[in-house]
Structure 1
Amino acid sequence: MTERTHVHAFGDDALGDLDATGVAAAIASREISAREAAEAAIARAELVDPTLNALALRDFDRALDAADSPPHGIFSGVPTFIKDNTDLDGLPTGHGSQAVHPKAKRKTEPFADQYLSTGMTMLGKTTLPEFGFNATTEFESRPPTRNPWHTGYSSGASSGGSAALVAAGVVPIAHANDGGGSIRIPAAACGLVGLKLTRHREVQSLQGKQMPVDIVSNGAVTRTVRDTAAFVAALEKYRPAKKLPAIGTVSGASDRRLRIGLITDSIVGEPTDPETAAAVLQTAELLSSLGHEVSEFAVPTDHTFARDFLHYWALMAFSTQYFGKMVTGDAFDRSKTDALTKGLARNFLRRPWLTPVSIRGLKRSEVKYREAFENLDVVLSPVLGHTTPELGFLSPAAGFDVMFPRLVNYVSFTPLNNAAGGPAISLPLGRTTTGLPIGVHFSAAHGDERTLLELAFELEAAQPFARIQDQTQTAG
């Protein structure tokens, strides 16, 4: 086994142990300045990133200038990062790919405007695997992004860079987005809160507008439920969602007792590993002790769902491989994409005729999902099929035929919410025997983020989340 090492940047500076809400309050009360918060975050990034490899692009000079006069917002002056698949005026977008030769963008895309309307100070961009297709932030020919809880393990993906920096204490909140679990998976790997919103709750992504089924959700990863709740309230204030019930400000648990369906195994046929299953079952026991009604439940989807989603995944890779210039510019070089992108594109070309069938299947999953919540309030399940893997296990350098079956088994729970459009949250309620976080997954009906946040507040109070700065070095 590799020696267990954990890395964090928490210390006695302007950020201290504060979450985003705490940093914003300290700035508002003039206990610290926004510039001091930015300077502390930059120093923390420089301290840990040589190990974590979570930064795709530094924009520190502009950040310090902006921090001298931060915009108003719920997180005014709080330092943050944005994932490097999102356009910001004046900065390139690399998409995590060697095939892209990015140039500075001339405008900021709509969700980034919504994200920054919170008043945060943007310090730069975070790493992701190539085009966000993988569930680990690893690459064929350059160093991986490492998990701060144990640097020999994956930080998850595709928002792995953001999750690593938040978990390590560099910033209290960072941008993430989710096309098959990419907010919830790195949150689970790095011991964070990761909420995927109901489809179109936030401003629709540019990529999502082009999809026959929009599976992409934008959001953030945080260390506390109150930060996630405040962030969601700020998004709603910026632009209330049409055709969805308002969430409002959620500040604590509800007295309402919930009907909760329990799922332990996924639809791909592989049983959940014992440590992950134990974390879910222990959470079910905790929920029962709090007065909620928990009963076993079947996955609310057709048996063809896995096939349909895998084909849609392959369609996205095919579109990237052969039409990447339309998205990233004329300098796109498809010969330099990694083994996962190339392998997925090949899979699509073997059965292109499945496309209309798969699209219909994914649209049908929304109907099945809605029906599931006619008699339930929440569904409890694992986030992932097994605990966080060591680096290399899912690396594209392992070759498509080796890593892809592993990837399918690993991400077997999260994609349903992307296809069906329902909200879901990962909470760090479990630990492995070696101390790595295990995320537990909660889904709710379309538009019912409020129930998820209220339940998250209750569980955080009943079983406080582990903090990386409280851990000691042990053997892995």
Structure 2
Amino acid sequence: MSLLAEQTRWLDATAQAALVASGEVKPSELVEAAIERIEGLDLVLGAVTLRYFDQARAAAAAAPTGQLAGVPFLIKDLFTDVAGQVCTNANVALKAQARPAEADSPLVARYRAAGLIFAGRTASSEFGTVPAAESAAWGATRNPWNTALSSGGSSGGAAAAVAAGMVSAAHGTDAAGSIRIPASCCGLVGLKPSRAAGQTVNSVFDLIVESVVTRSVRDTALLLNIARDVEGVTPADGYLAELGADPGRLRIGLLDTRFDGSPVHPDCADAARSTAQLLESLGHHVEPGFPAVLSDSTLDSLFAAFWTSGMAEVLGDLARQLGREITEADVESLNWTLGALGAEVSAGDRQAARDGVAGFARSVVSWWDDYDLMLTPTQAEPPLPSGTLGSDPADPLAPLRRSQQFAPFTPFVNFTGQPAITLPLHVDADGLPIGVQLVAAPGREDLLLRVATQLEIAVPWQDRRPAL
């Protein structure tokens, strides 16, 4: 690896942008360093599905401007358009079609205006259904901390790329934990922002939010500024103003078991408990507590109707994109089965599911009338062996059942619209990252960033790096 590629490998996006702004490094040099790292490291990890190296070089040569001018960046290969480039959704049929997008999606346009240089796309599971980056279209993405393990998902390619030092930050999407889970598995910061105020949940697409995985809380705050297009702010204002701000003495509810009271893996429980002790030492009050409705198993059928009818909608969109009827050969067995189940859900049951989700969200969010934050492990187990959540034609729903066991803590905030962040505060005996999740009331990203900064200062994680 060249000297510059090594010197810039572990810098966050803010630091890389500062090098460009000072004239110490040119955007083209940063881009070449990132390309060198991607080409060298991705042979092992399989994180980057599509490479935009020629376009990245051209963009760097065009003297980019903005808060992150010249910083290399990766876009997730799922439901996100980049002008002139293909998005496959980790699906074999869309990969074969290879139809380029006509325009940037709104967030991609904001990232481009901020000066980020798109070097490629990162791996996902097909349609983001399971918390892994493993698909028939692209294969499996492996964890930089232990390549026998999954990087999590569905934004697992993004997390693996950032954790390995290919780029400093990367785009992700989150409909049930798809940013937070891989960030936890790979030792990164992963924020799921609030859903837009007043937006109702009528479709599975309404659960999806876009954000980033990063190495630092300051990068998360800056990229949230850019994503939200905060009016009238400078790089020192907006969400960046929350960094180091006093959150006050907070009341925090701790959950260190599953919602039904059964145990999680000891390392995940330890991560939550040790973080609770750290928060207490910082002056906060932590006690056992979580919204009781989260333990109501009778809601399972409601969510099943919502998810299956949502997959039927996704597969309908796939047929329209392809311009033909789809067959089982076009879709992995899990998604084909979910879509078939969803096609059988009546209009009345779909409406009942939407109404049920709205009632569920109101019940959950009311808990925050008495608490400021909820603390949980990010997932119930350490990263899974690679291939665990792969497609299984003999038992198509097996990957979904296993996913629910692995990651019970993240999906509810997508239904409620709340913000949540995972932080890499714990490692197991082998040095493998184990993340913890903090959940705030709707619109309280400011509080999450304040507390995240406190924790980042108390337990710095930037020097923890995989040996890859």
Normalised to the residue count of structure 1, the TM-score between the two structures is 0.89
CA distance in 1 between partners of 2:256 and 2:461 (Å): 22
The answer on 1:431 being equivalent to 2:423 is no
* Shift in Å, 1:436: 1.5
Structure 1 position 268, deviation (Å) = 6.0
**Cα distance change, pair 177–9 in 1 and its aligned pair in 2 (3 A):** farther
Report SS of the residue matched to 1:57: strand
> What is aligned with 2:364?
369
Within 2, Cα distance between the matches of 1:16 and 1:248? 23
* Residue of structure 2 in register with 1:243 after alignment: none
SS of 2:447's partner is helix
Using the aligned pairs only, state the percent identity: 35
Q: In the TM superposition, what is the alpha-carbon distance from 1:190 to its structure 2 partner?
A: 0.7
User: For residue 454 of structure 2, what is the aligned residue in structure 1?
Assistant: 458
Alignment match, 2:401: 405
- Matched to 1:440, the amino acid is V
Match status 1:310 vs 2:322 = no
Contact kept, 8 Å, 1:288 with 1:294, in 2: the verdict is: yes
| Pair 270,407 (structure 1): closer, same or farther in 2 beyond 3 Å | farther
Aligned to 1:354: 349
Of the structure 1 ranges 302-311 and 411-420, higher mean CA displacement relative to structure 2 is found in 302-311
Relative to the length of structure 2, the TM-score reads 0.90
Shift of 1:404: 2.4
Query: Which of 340-349 and 95-104 deviates more?
Result: 340-349
Following TM superposition, by how much is the alpha carbon of 1:248 offset from its aligned partner in structure 2, in angstroms?
Answer: 5.8
Shift of 1:443: 0.5
- Asked whether 1:390 is paired with 2:382, we answer no
Residue from 57, 73, 81 that aligns with 1:80: 73
Give me the whole-angstrom Cα distance separating, in 2, the residues matched to 1:388 and 1:68: 40
Q: State which of 288, 313, 317 in structure 2 corresponds to 1:319.
A: 313
In the TM superposition, 1:14-413 aligns within 5 A as 15-85=8-78, 86-100=80-94, 101-140=97-136, 143-200=139-196, 211=203, 214-237=206-229, 247=239, 249-254=241-246, 256-267=248-259, 270-301=262-293, 303=296, 304-326=298-320, 328-330=321-323, 333-335=326-328, 336-349=330-343, 351-352=345-346, 354-397=349-392, 399-413=395-409
User: Structure 2 vs 1, CA of residues 306 and 438 (structure 1 numbering), >3 Å: closer, same or farther?
Assistant: farther
Whether the aligned pair in 2 keeps the contact of 1:9 and 1:44 (CA below 8 Å) is no
Unmatched runs of 5 consecutive residues or more in structure 1: 1-7, 241-245
Q: Shift of residue 42 of structure 1?
A: 0.3
What amino acid maps onto 1:57 in structure 2?
A: L
Deviates more, 1:171-180 or 1:338-347: 338-347
SS in 2 for 1:249: helix
AA aligned to 1:387 is: P
Q: Which residue identity does 2:65 align to in structure 1? A: H
Give the superposition deviation at 1:112: 1.5
Q: 1:421 to 1:162 in 2, by over 3 A?
A: same
SS at match of 2:253: strand
Q: Retained in 1: the 8 A contact 2:12–2:216?
A: yes
- State how far apart, in whole Å, the 2-side matches of 1:209 and 1:374 are: 22
Q: Please, which runs of 5 or more residues in structure 2 have no aligned partner?
A: 233-237
Distance verdict in 2 for CA 1:26–1:234, change over 3 Å: same
Q: Quick check: 338-347 or 380-389, which moved more? A: 338-347
Distance 1:70 1:438, change over 3 A: farther
The 1:322–1:213 alpha-carbon spacing in structure 2 relative to 1, beyond 3 Å, is closer
Does the 8 Å CA contact 2:125/2:132 hold for their aligned counterparts?
Answer: yes
Q: Distance in 1 between matches of 2:155 and 2:284?
A: 32
CA distance in 2, matches of 1:35, 1:265: 49
Q: CA deviation at 1:108?
A: 1.2
Following the alignment from structure 2 to structure 1, what is the Cα–Cα distance between the partners of residues 343 and 450?
Answer: 45
Greater shift, 427-436 or 220-229, is seen at 427-436
Question: Residue 119 and residue 214 in structure 1: after superposition, are their counterparts in 2 closer, same or farther (change >3 A)?
Answer: same
1:368 to 1:449, Cα distance in 2 relative to 1, 3 A: same
Paired with 1:310 and 1:70, the residues of 2 have a C-alpha distance of: 49
Counterparts of 2:65 and 2:439, CA distance in 1: 32
CA RMSD of aligned residues (A): 2.6
1:368 shift after superposition: 1.8
Higher helix fraction (1 or 2): 2
> 1:343, CA displacement in angstroms?
2.6
Counterpart of 1:5 in structure 2 is: none
Aligned residues: 455
